[in-house]
Amino acid sequence: MGTLDPILLAVLKGRLEQISDEMDATLFRSAFNPIIAEAHDASHGLYHAETGETLVQGKSGLPVFVGAMSFAVKSVIDKVSAEDLKLNPGDVFIFNDPYEGGTHLSDFKLVRPFFRDGKLFCFLASVGHWHDVGGNVPGNYNPVATECYQEGILIPPVLLYSQGKLNPDIVAILQANSRLPGSLYGDLNGQVSALELGEKRLNDLLGEYGEYTVTDALAELKKSAARLMESYISDLPDGTYTAEDWLDNDGISNEPLKIGLDVIIKGGRMTLDFSRTSVACEGPVNISRSTCIASCYVALKHIFREVPANAGVLEPIDFVLPEDSLLNVGRPKPVGGYTETILRVIDVMFQVISQVAPDMTNGCAYGTINALSLAGYRQNGARWVMFSFFGGGHGGHPNGDGLNHGNAPISTATIPPLEILEAAYPVRFTQWALRPDSGGPGRNRGGCGAIYEIELMEEKANAFLFGERGKYPPAGVVGGQPGALNKFYYSDGDDVAEPPMVSKMVGINLERGQRVRLESPGGGGYGDPLEREPEKVAEDVRLGYVTAQAAADHYKCSVSKEGALDQDQTNKMRSGK
């Protein structure tokens, strides 16, 4: 292996990332499903031919898939080895097994071997969140599932294409198990097209620079990522640091579940020990080992922002994940609500790092995607399923306030616009606004959550919610205070009701004109609220982020409802006079 010129290495890094970026863009532009087309819940990348490790991932894809997809590709490699199969150009495997490939049943993975001059060079892979894949609940976020078979159809790695020839029986099986077979077919073809484009672009690159040069570049990029991560860890003081956070419940039993983390830093290595986490639960907030490792990668990427998206990042990291933990389950334990659990994993990482390197972390984000499904039939008998996730506030950080109404920190996805949702489904948003006083007070305030109120325009529909943070608010760090709790309300006849499980419910029956209402959490604050400049508090009041009463309660600032600051009274309040 030769030594590459740094400039050439940078050029090849950009070209390789561009391949993944173009694959992302191809799917985003061709998908039928708004969760992919608008929210960008998908990812593409290049993976090692022997280990399945992530070589390159696009900048637009979800970071959580960096770790998860390497396990997905490895499951294909293991299948080929175990069954003594022969890979051929034009083969494409398809599956959604969450225990081998990570995440949950909605995320369908397509894996395509890439050959160069008759030799396997790498794998190309695509993953996208399909709109509906069967199960008890439209949209597949079933908060009362007790086994994976209640969450959707489970497909192990099977050949969708063999030497370029489509197996239509696989497509027929998939479509027969979806409430929205047309959407499924469009998304599937979008992913296939993305892989075809990726193969063309990679052939062009290898033709221009040569196989050995590109192979050397991929190896050097991995080594560089490992060295960079090790250097970051080495800068931290050795020791053991701990944090814990909680899930509201598992949807079955209204008992909290603990995510306990001990981080051991020693000699340039970091051990993430989750032994204090609750055991596997009956409901669907369990996750597989691969999903947990992927979520840790996302947290590390937030903390050590300059590390690239490849497998080298995890080389100096060791994991302790007991097999009986809710962070390391196998079939048939339900895993449909994996998003809620990995958000809590990220939260405890933020809290731990705040103890050892407060300038590198931030308050916890709002901590739930609030997966909401509304489903019914149109007057012409056509099935409709509106599935979407919703935003909230991000945590305050060393350099400023948290983002208002952002998307969950597991991804680079976007919240689907209300115009798209109203155009596609028989609903009307009667409110879509920031939620005052939801951001955690701090020297740098947590971002505001949001208020969403949705009115049904069709005759009847059923609603389903899978959320979190209804009991345990997003934590602040370095003296910052927590954000507001998650709130959900729905029409129950002439009354307004709340879920018995606080953040999870199935079977909400709605009639035309009735509404559901989400009030999402804000982010946790960063630093002591009394260190916040009074002028910034007054500006928050003027903008409607904070009420005058909250300014007095949390910041000891005297501000009128119009946002006028009384500096003298503020000085007295802060001095305790």
Q: ∠ CA(553), CA(559), CA(563), 5° rounding?
A: 130
CB 361 within 8 A of CB 353: yes
**How far apart, in whole angstroms, are the C-alpha atoms of residue 464 and residue 456?**
14
Q: Looking at residue 1, what is its pLDDT? A: 46
Tokens of 512: 């035309």
Give strand ranges (E) for 239-392: 239-247, 257-266, 269-273, 317-320, 371-377, 383-388
CB 446 within 8 A of CB 480: yes
Length of the chain: 577
Residue ranges for the chain with pLDDT beneath 70: 1-2, 61-63, 66, 411-412, 577
Q: Looking at residue 493, what is its pLDDT? A: 87
DSSP conformational letter for 136: S
Burial 485-499 (b: 16+ CB within 10 A, else e): bbbbebbeeeeeeeb
Q: Looking at residue 52, what is its pLDDT? A: 94
CB 91 within 8 A of CB 112: yes
186-200 pLDDT, tens digit per residue, is 999 999 999 999 999
- Does residue 465 form part of some domain? yes
DSSP-derived pairing of the beta strands 504-511 and 460-466: antiparallel
Q: What is the residue type of 194?
A: A
DSSP-derived pairing of the beta strands 487-492 and 515-519: antiparallel
**How far apart, in whole angstroms, are the C-alpha atoms of residue 24 and residue 504?**
32
DSSP-derived pairing of the beta strands 317-320 and 269-273: parallel
CB 515 within 8 A of CB 491: yes
Tokens of 191: 């992913």
Q: Looking at residue 395, what is its pLDDT? A: 98
- Does residue 296 form part of some domain? no
**How far apart, in whole angstroms, are the C-alpha atoms of residue 80 and residue 68?**
19
Cα–Cα nearest to 246, from 463, 542, 482: 482
Tokens of 486: 């998650």
DSSP conformational letter for 337: T
Q: Looking at residue 411, what is its pLDDT? A: 67
CB 393 within 8 A of CB 406: yes
Q: What is the residue type of 90?
A: G
- Quote the distance between the C-alpha of residue 425 and its chain's center: 24
Cα–Cα nearest to 565, from 544, 576, 551, 545: 551
Cα–Cα nearest to 389, from 369, 412, 406: 369
- Does residue 315 form part of some domain? no
Cα–Cα nearest to 400, from 357, 441, 445: 445
Could you list the residue range(s) of the whole structural domain that residue 130 is in? 6-226
**How far apart, in whole angstroms, are the C-alpha atoms of residue 186 and residue 198?**
18
- Does residue 186 form part of some domain? yes
- Does residue 541 form part of some domain? no
**How far apart, in whole angstroms, are the C-alpha atoms of residue 259 and residue 352?**
12
- Does residue 301 form part of some domain? no
**How far apart, in whole angstroms, are the C-alpha atoms of residue 46 and residue 209?**
17
Count CB atoms within 10 A of the CB of residue 120.
13
* Count of the separate structural domains present in the chain: 2
**How far apart, in whole angstroms, are the C-alpha atoms of residue 95 and residue 412?**
23
CB-side neighbour CA atoms (13 Å) of 337: 37
| DSSP 3-state of 456 | strand
Burial 367-381 (b: 16+ CB within 10 A, else e): bbbbbbbbbbeeeee
Q: Of the residues 177, 209, 226, which one is the last residue of a structural domain?
A: 226
**How far apart, in whole angstroms, are the C-alpha atoms of residue 556 and residue 576?**
9
Count CB atoms within 10 A of the CB of residue 317.
18
Tokens of 261: 């983390």
Q: Of the residues 226, 250, 283, which one is the last residue of a structural domain?
A: 226
- Does residue 393 form part of some domain? yes
- Does residue 554 form part of some domain? no
Q: Looking at residue 65, what is its pLDDT? A: 76
